[in-house]
Amino acid sequence: MDKEKVIIFDTTLRDGEQSPGASLNIEEKIEIAQQLNRLNVDVIEAGFPASSAGEFEAVSSIAKKIKNKIIAGLARVTRKDIEQAGMALKDAAHPRIHTFIATSPIQMKYKLKMDDDEVLRSAVNAVKYARRFSDDIEFSPEDATRSKKQFLYRIIEKVINAGATVVNIPDTVGYTIPEEFALLIRDIRNSVPNINKIVLSVHCHDDLGLAVANSLAAVVNGARQVECTINGIGERAGNASLEEIVMSIKIRNALFSVYTGIKTEEIYRTSRLVSTLSGIPVQPNKAIVGRNAFAHEAGIHQDGVLKKRATYEIIPPRVIGLKGSRLILGKHSGRHGFKKRLEELGHRLSSRDMGKAFVQFKKLADKKKEIFDEDIEAIVEEGIEKIPQLFRLEYIQVSTGNQTIPTATVKISKKGKIVQEASCGDGPVDAVYRAIDRITRVPVNLVDYSLKAVTGGKDAMGEVNIKVEDKRKRLFSGRGLSTDVIEASALAYINAINKFFRK
């Protein structure tokens, strides 16, 4: 039997933006929508058009720009909301109006001040009116998991007869648990006579930390659309996390027997973009996209990963768009992880020197939470190897500006002989590095550059740390300090080149 597809409905731009502190302007929403398109989500809920003029414009702009996805706009069951959604989506190739009304006793009594019949009538009328603007109508009985089942069955049946194409079951306040939600989905499928005419969807919140588990339980029991957000952002504790749902289905495919159309290699890039633009950082231990998700510090784990990644990694990093996992060096790390990092930095020590370096590493690890490459370099340089100063910076001059081609003149002492070269570049640092390359003629490529201030004030000392890679993919790090960041950059580059010649 062919596997069925689970439709991924992304609501990052609507429910996700409702996260406290998150607010996106029109350009940022468009940028995220374009990345969601590359991620290949099926539905993009672009916003709530009736909520503000800016929101209307954002939904309208996304509808105009993205033509190969369903673009949804949220609307309450009022005619004004539905009209606003219809107008905002008028240029969409595949528009969907998503309308909703609360169905739980507590919401109907205290928020809506409506009885069952009034809510039912409003829902049916809204779906019928929305059909004037689109053939694709989604209806959500808000707070479904705290609603009375018989009333829920009744309203679902009526909105389907009125023309709904998707019915979404929201766990609006994150109240349910997986077994309970699975039973609700089964009961809906068994009790609503016309349920096969629509796509059954779920939208779970994370107030009890169960949004993903509840969504997956619903998929097992027949839901074929899942509403979720990037990084799980959203109201209160957030929504079900898109990346966790997608990767659970992918990694445990034999269990779920369904598939999604998501291009998983775009997951990490999408996560970073949403985090940057929303201003909401991703917690380090967040599943799939957290900084520590593919990081290993324990020596036993590092040894296993070095021998066979699958010993401790159930997801290959490249599947979500990462180059690889990270071995974090700290007090829990073992000799294998330390030796591997040394080799990556271009150091192949004798057994005796390796033993001495490992002792120094462990002493330092007891004082620091994490050991960085620069710490390892210092251990090797100060205690094991001395770097010959084959090249030494003597003089540097840079001409640059916003309307000037950056140009650098560099003098370097090479085996006691002064050599001078000049070069242009994309910026002052690039110009300096090109001039140094002309003198040293070393076949390395710059792969990492970082600059930070190590003191305060206007005359702060700048520290530049770089990494270069040779043709054999060996890495060599360089470090430079100066109150002039251009000079610090040059010193770091020459430091790395001297290490290359040491090898």
Annotated binding site for Mn(2+): 15, 203, 205, 239
Q: Phi and psi (nearest 5°) for 166?
A: -135, 135
SS3 string, 320-374, reads: HCCCCCEECECCCCCHHHHHHHHHHCCCCCCHHHHHHHHHHHHHHHCCCCCECHH
| Residue numbering of the annotated binding site | 15, 203, 205, 239
* Rounded Cα–Cα distance for residues 272 and 151 (Å): 42
Q: Which residues are within 8 A (CB) of 460 and not within 5 positions of it... i.e. 6 or more apart?
A: 453, 454, 483
State the pairing for strand pair 462-470/475-482. Answer: antiparallel
DSSP per-residue codes, 6-19: PEEEE-TTTTGGGS
Cross-strand bridge partners of residue 476:
468
* Rounded Cα–Cα distance for residues 244 and 228 (Å): 10
Q: Phi and psi (nearest 5°) for 129?
A: -70, -40
Cross-strand bridge partners of residue 470:
444
Write out the two tokens for 294: 């593919």
- Do residues 37 and 94 make contact, with C-beta atoms less than 8 angstroms apart? no
* Residue type for position 84: Q
Q: Which residues are within 8 A (CB) of 247 and not within 5 positions of it... i.e. 6 or more apart?
A: 264, 267, 288, 315, 319, 320
Q: How distant, in Å, are the alpha carbons of 72, 89, 126, 299 from that of 83?
A: 13, 10, 11, 61
- Do residues 297 and 328 make contact, with C-beta atoms less than 8 angstroms apart? yes
Chain mean position to CA 196:
35
- Do residues 45 and 11 make contact, with C-beta atoms less than 8 angstroms apart? yes
* Rounded Cα–Cα distance for residues 110 and 452 (Å): 55
